């Protein structure tokens, strides 16, 4: 079967200056091609911002932000100029590169996007115009979205025929056979199907697979950048910028995504990723071969999206050794855990190309680390951060404000930790606590001193809200013998604010939630790990003013000489930054 996989356009504004290729399409393509299907990949997000939107200034794409107009149009309820506008927008989107000709099945990934009106309306509208070509069905999917939300999407958008809510490539392949041969092909798994006037749930199947990504045919040219193009997004008028461009010697940088792990061995109580099902064991030789293929396609760096690189100490050690022996010369970044980490492994990771490591620290309180089952205590965390910094690796830590049972003493311990270790930390992510139903907190609340408040029947998540707060994303809960949810909500907000203020004090608001992956990859390729202090100074200067890749139509730049953290955070929560 001929299958077209689509990465849809979105207005989910990105703080980074350059986006990365989507990994879901190559992973799905790798599995489907292995079964003999003909697969094309169409990335619509990059050309939408770089070409489609600027080339059509007369089209008000803002209509896609309205929560109801597109759905009304698809059901024939919208008339007049607005219906005409949506017809024109749909026609333009369906003519994007990679969507030429017909297919037997269209698969749209929702990976990596915040669920908002623009994205969902664009997908529903695009499906309408693709189906008009030959009637091929449209399926949406991504493991990170619940089946309840997918059911709402199929009910809202009549142009969507299926939703695969887990299982990745195997379940999509099963669906392709079902579409081609009908029920005789066998049943579906982890799939919702529009059948007449109702939505049929085919039940849960196997966990996510670890298919090998196949980037052949992916429009990687959208994501290649030269030193001049890269640095033009950052304070290009600084006197040393021209010298930085020259040091690149015409280098074309391409950073791609890759993964080799689907689950985490950790048992963190807050984590929404259900690590109970067994995961496929990665193979170091296979990973190295895949990385060599990516390098042959022009990749200079890899953004791993594993739960953590060192999920198993022995495997991480083996993989780094084989990467070094193969001489891949690829820079990379990934998440890492403190449990299965020490100085020898950090040294090996650096030799294998590690530029940046993101550590889920969550809290600096020893009591809280035990409570959330982190498997590590502050002394080891401090030592690992210190060693990693001395090796020249960019350290990024993640923090959670307002964890269950958090006290003022716990918060003060975290604040003290940040002040003691600021010199060894380069970037911070600060997240308000959300209680996910699939987490140990959600599955066994009483074990952790919590009592869940069950949502009223018929309650639905607001898919179109731009404001992320515990009230519209978290399961509501009370602390047994402690705070009610209303009090907890206030504490979560206060703790998150204090953590942000502390980071602003000991580092900079520019160190919060900004990764600058392309800039880091370039600077490390030019100066190496031994010049981290210089890289730090350059990043500090260049990021005072920069242009995110899809903000041109809204802001000329993010200028931290005029912004303060509170404004940046507010704009992000409002979906504007």
CATH number at residue 268: 3.20.20.70
Rg from Cα positions in the chain: 24
Do 265 and 412 lie in one domain? The reply is yes
Do 186 and 60 lie in one domain? The reply is yes
Do 322 and 423 lie in one domain? The reply is yes
Do 182 and 296 lie in one domain? The reply is no
- The contacts found for 374-377 with CB under 8 angstroms, 24 or more apart, are 374/266, 374/268, 374/338, 374/339, 375/266, 375/267, 375/337, 375/338, 375/339, 376/337, 376/338, 376/339
Do 176 and 265 lie in one domain? The reply is no
Q: How far is CA 101 from CA 105, 132, 140, in A?
A: 12, 12, 20
> What are 346-393's pLDDT values in tens digits?
999 999 999 999 999 999 999 999 999 999 999 999 999 999 999 999
State the Cα–Cα distance between residues 151 and 154, nearest whole angstrom.
Answer: 5
- Cβ pair 576, 13 in contact under 8 A: yes
Q: Which among 164, 160, 278, 155 has a CA at the least distance from the CA of 210?
A: 278
- Cβ pair 8, 119 in contact under 8 A: yes
Is residue 240 assigned to a domain? no
Is residue 383 assigned to a domain? yes
Quick one: CA dihedral 204, 207, 211, 217, positive or negative? positive
Q: Which helix (H) or strand (E) holds 162?
A: strand 162-164
Domain C-terminal end among 499, 515, 531: 515
Domain C-terminal end among 138, 169, 201: 201
Do 261 and 197 lie in one domain? The reply is no
Q: Strand 198-201 and strand 191-195: pairing?
A: antiparallel
Do 149 and 283 lie in one domain? The reply is no
The pLDDT score that the predictor gives to residue 542 is: 92
Is residue 396 assigned to a domain? yes
Do 341 and 273 lie in one domain? The reply is yes
Helices (H), 182-326: 227-231, 241-247, 284-296, 313-326
Measured in degrees and rounded to the nearest 5, phi and psi for residue 79 equal -125, 175
Q: How far is CA 424 from CA 51, 377, 480, 517, 536, in A?
A: 41, 17, 37, 18, 11
Is residue 293 assigned to a domain? yes
Which CATH number goes with the domain that contains 151? 3.40.50.280
The pLDDT score that the predictor gives to residue 166 is: 81
> What are 489-535's pLDDT values in tens digits?
999 999 999 999 999 999 998 899 889 999 999 999 999 999 999 99
The pLDDT score that the predictor gives to residue 114 is: 61
State the Cα–Cα distance between residues 506 and 564, nearest whole angstrom.
Answer: 15
Residues 6+ apart with CB under 8 A from 556: 547
Domain C-terminal end among 201, 221, 243: 201
Low-confidence ranges of the chain (pLDDT < 50): 464-472, 552-558, 560-577
Do 556 and 426 lie in one domain? The reply is no
Q: Pseudo-torsion of CA 458, 153, 30, 178, nearest 10°? A: 90
State the Cα–Cα distance between residues 7 and 3, nearest whole angstrom.
Answer: 13
The pLDDT score that the predictor gives to residue 459 is: 59
Q: Which domain covers residue 575, as residue numbers?
A: 550-577
The pLDDT score that the predictor gives to residue 10 is: 84
Residues 6+ apart with CB under 8 A from 181: none
Is residue 404 assigned to a domain? yes
Do 282 and 182 lie in one domain? The reply is no
Total count of domains within the chain: 3
């Amino acid at each position: 079967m001929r299958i077209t996989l689509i990465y849809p356009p979105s207005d989910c504004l990105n703080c980074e200056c350059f986006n990365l290729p989507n990994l879901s399409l190559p992973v799905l393509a790798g599995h489907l091609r292995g079964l003999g299907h003909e697969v094309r990949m169409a990335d619509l997000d990059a050309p939408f911002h770089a070409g489609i939107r600027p080339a059509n200034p007369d089209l008000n794409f803002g209509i896609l932000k309205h929560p109801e107009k597109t759905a009304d149009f698809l059901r024939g309820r919208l008339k007049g100029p607005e219906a005409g506008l949506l017809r024109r927008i749909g026609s333009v989107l369906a003519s994007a590169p990679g969507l030429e000709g017909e297919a037997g099945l269209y698969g749209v990934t929702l990976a990596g996007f915040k669920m908002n009106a623009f994205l969902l309306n664009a997908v529903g509208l695009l499906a309408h115009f693709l189906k008009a070509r030959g009637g091929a069905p449209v399926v949406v999917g991504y493991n990170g979205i619940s089946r309840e939300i997918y059911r709402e999407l199929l009910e809202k958008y009549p142009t969507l025929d299926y939703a695969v809510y887990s299982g990745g490539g195997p379940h999509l392949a099963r669906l392709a056979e079902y579409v081609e041969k009908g029920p005789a092909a066998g049943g579906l798994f982890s799939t919702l199907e529009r059948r007449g006037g109702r939505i049929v749930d085919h039940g849960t199947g196997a966990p996510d697979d670890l298919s090998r990504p196949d980037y052949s045919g992916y429009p990687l040219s959208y994501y290649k950048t030269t030193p001049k193009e890269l640095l033009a997004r950052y304070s290009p008028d600084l006197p040393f910028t021209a010298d930085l461009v020259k040091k690149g010697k015409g280098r074309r940088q391409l950073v791609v995504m890759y993964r080799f792990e689907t689950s985490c061995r950790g048992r963190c109580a807050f984590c929404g990723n259900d690590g109970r099902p067994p995961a496929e064991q990665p193979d170091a030789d296979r990973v190295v071969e895949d990385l060599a293929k990516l390098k042959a396609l022009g990749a200079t760096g890899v953004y791993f999206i594993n739960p953590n690189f060192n999920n198993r100490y022995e495997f991480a050690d083996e993989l780094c050794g084989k990467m070094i022996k193969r001489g891949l010369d690829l820079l990379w970044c990934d998440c890492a855990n403190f449990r299965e980490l020490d100085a020898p492994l950090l040294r090996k990771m650096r030799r294998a190309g590690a530029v940046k490591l993101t550590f889920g620290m969550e809290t600096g309180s020893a009591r809280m680390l035990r409570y959330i089952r982190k498997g590590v205590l502050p002394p080891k965390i401090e030592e690992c951060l210190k060693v990693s910094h001395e090796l020249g690796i960019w350290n990024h830590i993640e923090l959670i404000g307002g964890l269950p049972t958090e006290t003022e003493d716990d918060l003060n311990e975290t604040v003290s930790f940040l002040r003691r270790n600021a010199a060894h930390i380069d970037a911070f992510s600060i997240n308000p606590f959300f209680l996910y139903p699939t987490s140990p907190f959600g599955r066994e609340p009483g074990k952790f001193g919590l009592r869940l408040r069950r949502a009223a029947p018929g309650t639905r998540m607001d898919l179109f809200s731009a404001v992320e707060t515990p009230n519209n994303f978290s399961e509501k809960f009370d602390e047994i013998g402690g705070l009610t949810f209303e009090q907890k909500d206030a504490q979560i907000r206060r703790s998150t604010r204090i953590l942000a203020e502390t980071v602003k004090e000991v580092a900079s608001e520019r160190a919060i939630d900004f990764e600058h992956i392309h800039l880091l990859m370039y600077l490390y390729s030019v100066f190496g790990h031994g010049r981290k202090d210089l890289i730090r100074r350059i990043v500090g200067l260049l990021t005072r003013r920069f242009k995110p890749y899809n903000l041109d139509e809204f802001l000329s730049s993010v200028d931290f000489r005029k912004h303060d953290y509170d404004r940046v955070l507010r704009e992000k929560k409002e979906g504007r930054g």
